[in-house]
Chains A and B, each alone.
Chain A
Amino acid sequence: MLTYTIKRIGLAVLILFLVMLAMYAMVFVVPGDPAAVALGPRATPALKAELITRMGLDQPLYAQVWNFFRNAATGDLGFDVWSKRPVLSMILEVFPNTLILGAVALGVALVLGVSLGCLSVIWRGSLIDRVLAILSVSMISVPSFVIAIYGLLIFSVWLGWLPAIGAGEKGDLGSQARAVILPAFAVGISWVGYLARLVRASMLEVMGANHIRTARAFGLPEGRIVARYALRIAIIPTIAILAVGFGSILSSAVFVETVFSRPGIGSLITQAVAKRNYPLVMGTVLFMTAFYLVVVTAADLLIARLDPRVRDVYRS
């Protein structure tokens, strides 16, 4: 398990390194000099010169790359072109909002998806199974912006139960909770359908396996077989998909945060791109990449804990 852990973390660091390299190269491939693009056509030469020194663009390329990596390693992601605030603190300020949105969306998807999946396994082939199948497929195929807009219309505008915009009052948990419900459903609903199908399929596959038959042949109670022998294996594909899906959940957050005017990484990056605010764009992308890698690596380690065969692939 230790070798496996070290290898997975090493791989994550390597990927992050390559992403940073690719990102830095991209800034230079895009035509126009970054300072001019950031400040716009009407910037004075003095302003431009000041920005160029501040961003270190006057130094040789290798020194720039070196600085970029050294700073990033110490948590320094540079400064915002406009407000001159450190990028990292701008990110950390709004990141909890996005994290809460993603976590609630995922939690909803996980609880509803796994239970609906288990229900259709228990009643497989019945009317309930078929109704759930149709429901799941509709949840997968309805785009999240439709859910977002109709949710807004019904629950905020007509019924007035939930706030239409914002992330709730600071320090007021109740209002924050109410503010996250609609965006979380908009992000998570298609995952409910997706997970329900996935859990159903992997559960059915495992329940047909030879070792389940063995457990039955020794007279083990069915509940024990499901909980101890089947679920442990059936949940593995779900964990893998969820970790990868977390990336797509974060990218749908970009859009949902805009619709609900909710502060977060999504709205931050949208504004930064619109204003060609390079340090902020690069810092945010880097931060999200790192976060995504942490999630995926953690999921891989969890899977390896659950399934000894995975760790052995790496041992040999």
Chain B
Amino acid sequence: MTAPVPLLSVENLTITYASDAGPVQALRAAHLTARAGEVIGIVGESGCGKSTLASALINLLAANARVTSGAVRLRGQDILTLPEDAKRAIRGRHIAMVFQDPMTSFNPVLPLGAQLTDFQHHLPQTRAEKRTRARAMLARVGIPDPDLVLTRFIHELSGGMRQRAAIAAALLMTPDVLVADEPTTALDVTMEAQIIHLLRALRADHQGTILIVTHHLGVIGELCDRVYVMYAGQVVEEATVDDLYHAPRHPYTRALIACDPAHLETHTPVLPTIPGHLPDLTAPPPGCSFANRCPLVTSRCHTAPPPWVRLSDTQAALCHEVAP
């Protein structure tokens, strides 16, 4: 018996950006799998390559990006090598994205209703019918006066309403894969709680898979089933949310958990951060990327790339010092 084909998988994905300082290695052999019904978290500090991975998932990389190896498979089919028309047919309809900053992610000079109608252009319905669908979706994400919001411009809405509108836009086509890049970063704590609440309600009746990209562990704990931890363009640990919090294995994951405000024993005025910096991604170190910040570092960490060690069915880490 062969394993069923996962809904979404990323294999060995390596992406570089052309820059004046040389190619920036934003993703190095990144990988993940997501099955229908799962909510997956992707977590890591800023600059770890999370947004690059998200852009690759919707097939919209920056002009200076180059995929040097790997694949993104939707139901087994590699979508990175499709012709442009076929890519366009998948975007929005099968894979949709909630962008990082809803203020700049909507067109500033078109009313929201016009944009939400345009976004359904894959559908055969009339514009009036699409507008009705858009209205229903706005109501569904908890916007109190959807008719009014359809006539508004994005700058006329509050931060929370903008984020809800962005989520409504992504859900319009009932996509198989919903990618949310930092869905709560632009919001204050109350708004954040409301959006998390909304996403939880939506996950209950979403058939496909949801990928939540964030540098905020609290969001992961509230929403996700499984997590991929990223560091310097690599996936360094894969775990269930329970294991992430209670049995993290990679030293970077442990450091992240130790810095999470929810896990602090005493309240400190200054949030702790992991000391040190990300390595220069134009020239990543030959050994482990985390070596310059790792408390468990040994000499081989500086010279040999760490192996991907499978620890259980659901947990694995990229480290010399872990063993099942």
Contacts and interface: CB of A to CB of B under 8 A. Distances in A.
- The judgment on whether A and B are partners is yes
Interface of A: 209-211, 213-221, 224, 228-229, 232-233, 306-309, 312
Contacts of A312: 155-156
Contacts of A308: 108-109, 153, 155-156
A215 B118 contact: yes
A181 to B, nearest CB: 37
20 contacts: A210-B99, A210-B105, A211-B106, A213-B60, A215-B107, A215-B115, A216-B91, A217-B92, A219-B88, A219-B91, A219-B121, A220-B121, A224-B121, A229-B107, A229-B110, A232-B110, A308-B155, A309-B108, A309-B153, A312-B155
B97 interface: yes
Given A210-B104, A219-B89, 19 more contacts: A209-B104, A210-B99, A210-B105, A211-B106, A213-B60, A214-B106, A215-B107, A215-B115, A217-B92, A217-B97, A219-B92, A220-B121, A221-B121, A224-B121, A306-B109, A308-B153, A308-B156, A309-B153, A312-B156
B76 to A, nearest CB: 21
A214 B169 CA distance: 10
A260 B153 CA distance: 50
A232 B110 CA distance: 9
B105 A214 contact: yes
A219 B172 CA distance: 13
A269 B306 CA distance: 83
Interface in B106-142: 106-110, 115, 118-119, 121-122
B93 A219 contact: yes
Contacts of A306: 109
Contacts of A220: 118-119, 121
Contacts of B105: 210-211, 213-214
Contact of B60 (A211, A217, A233): A217
A209 B121 CA distance: 21
Interface in B70-113: 88-93, 96-97, 99, 101, 104-110
A62 B155 CA distance: 50
Contacts of A210: 99, 101, 104-105
Contacts of B97: 217
A221 B88 CA distance: 8
Nearest to A213: B60
Interface string B35-74: 0000000000000000000000010100000000000000
Contacts of B60: 213, 216-217
Considering the complex of A and B, which 5 residue pairs feature the smallest CB-CB distances, nearest first? A218-B92, A219-B91, A210-B104, A218-B119, A219-B92
A213 B99 contact: yes
Contacts of A221: 88, 121
A228 B109 contact: no
Interface of B: 58, 60, 88-93, 96-97, 99, 101, 104-110, 115, 118-119, 121-122, 153, 155-156, 169, 173
Contact of B109 (A214, A216, A219, A307): A307
Contact of B90 (A216, A219, A233): A219
Contacts of B118: 215, 218, 220, 224, 228
Contacts of A218: 91-92, 96, 118-119, 121, 169, 173
Contacts of A233: 107-109
Nearest to A307: B109
B161 to A, nearest CB: 16
Contacts of A232: 109-110
A20 to B, nearest CB: 37
B108 A211 contact: yes
A225 to B, nearest CB: 9
Contacts of A309: 108-109, 153, 155
A211 B60 CA distance: 13
A229 B105 CA distance: 12
A216 B88 CA distance: 8
Contacts of B104: 209-211
A308 B110 CA distance: 9
Nearest to B155: A309
Contacts of B93: 219
Contacts of A307: 108-109
B108 A214 contact: no
A216 B62 CA distance: 12
A228 B109 CA distance: 10
A309 B153 CA distance: 9
Contacts of B155: 308-309, 312
Contacts of A228: 110, 118
A197 B98 CA distance: 34
A306 B108 CA distance: 10
A236 to B, nearest CB: 9
Contacts of B107: 211, 214-215, 229, 233
B150 to A, nearest CB: 14
Contacts of A213: 60, 99, 105
Nearest to A305: B109
Nearest to A214: B105
A228 B107 CA distance: 10
Contacts of A209: 104
Nearest to B152: A308
A220 B110 CA distance: 15
Contacts of A224: 118, 121
Contacts of B156: 308, 312
